[in-house]
Amino acid sequence: MTNGMLLVNKPEGVSSARVVDQVKKIFQVKKAGHTGTLDPFATGLLPVALGRATRISRFFLGSAKHYRAVVTLGIETDTLDKTGRVTSQADPDLVSSIQPEQVRQVTAEFAGVQQQVAPSFSALKHQGQPLYKLARQGKMIKKPPRTIEIYSISVTRMDLPEFEIAVQCSGGTYIRSLAHDMGRLLGCGAHLSGLCRTGVSQFTLDQAVDLNTLHTCDLQTARTHILPMAECLPFMPLVQADTALEEKIRYGRKLQHQDIGIGTDRVAADGFIRITGSDGRLIAVVRADNNGADYNYCCVFSG
């Protein structure tokens, strides 16, 4: 059984679902899934969970993301990116009057907690239907604004009417919407013309492998690129189980504070703890109860 996380450098023009399909064929597995979609035109880091690791993929959906994004001023599209239909185009003189310092000032204003409206062309659902399907039918649905946070944002390249930004943000942030909103604030409109995801949680793009590399190597070599599940959750406190704890977990018995044996100062706000067995493999993820005395099972991998 192949279990673990594969970090893929997604190429442009391929959907995230298509990447997962290719990975399943390469590794000959039935279960696989990504931890957060990238639009087909976007490139960069796409973590793909294989086998039992699909059960820990939920811990990455809301994690911090890092992006390099290219914004082009003066043109708005219905998808808010370069793949869409042009909906408005600013006067060239207005666009050329935008100064680099204005761009830097506006960019800096987007740092922090804020409300963001998701694009009508997105995978969010309305009455059970993805918004992008409704949008293709001419039904442009706007969902209520959602709270997001931009942890850091800066201009890394300026070649107006195009500029590049580096963004670190919370899960659920739409960089297309960010580009659109920046253009509105500058008064000339804008769209996202390039996007590369460079980080997801603790994973970084330089750890990722190209699909072409996986296609051209044998299965044994391909498996060397898979991260073991025990190494995928470093943000959770680690407990190495003794024989007694392993047995309790194997039989699903109730876990109490004395079984886990770590102080409350080591438990994060979300209460999750990873437990490895004597062989170093991940055997469970548990979560502290509200009373702090008991632990509930989230995922069990022993047996």
Q: Please give the Cα distance from 280 to 9 (Å, whole number).
A: 28
Q: Please give the Cα distance from 181 to 119 (Å, whole number).
A: 11
3-state secondary structure of 229: helix
Q: Which of 39, 81, 181, 259 is catalytic?
A: 39
User: Using omega within 30 degrees of 0 as the cis cutoff, is the peptide bond preceding 161 cis?
Assistant: yes
Residue 42 near residue 179 (C-beta atoms within 8 A): no
Q: Among this protein's residues, is 81 annotated catalytic?
A: no
Determine the Cα angle at 36 with ends 83 and 48, to 5°. Answer: 115
The conformation of residue 30, written as its DSSP 8-state character, comes to S
Q: What does the DSSP assignment read for 202-228?
A: TEEGGG-EEHHHHHHS-HHHHHTTEEP
Residue 103 near residue 186 (C-beta atoms within 8 A): yes
278-299 exposure pattern, b = at least 16 Cβ within 10 A, e = fewer: eeeebbbbbbbeeeeebbeebb
Strands 75-77, 162-169: pairing kind: unpaired
Residue 81 near residue 43 (C-beta atoms within 8 A): no
162-192 exposure pattern, b = at least 16 Cβ within 10 A, e = fewer: ebbbebbbbbbbbbbbbbbbbbeebebbbbb
Active-site positions?
A: 39
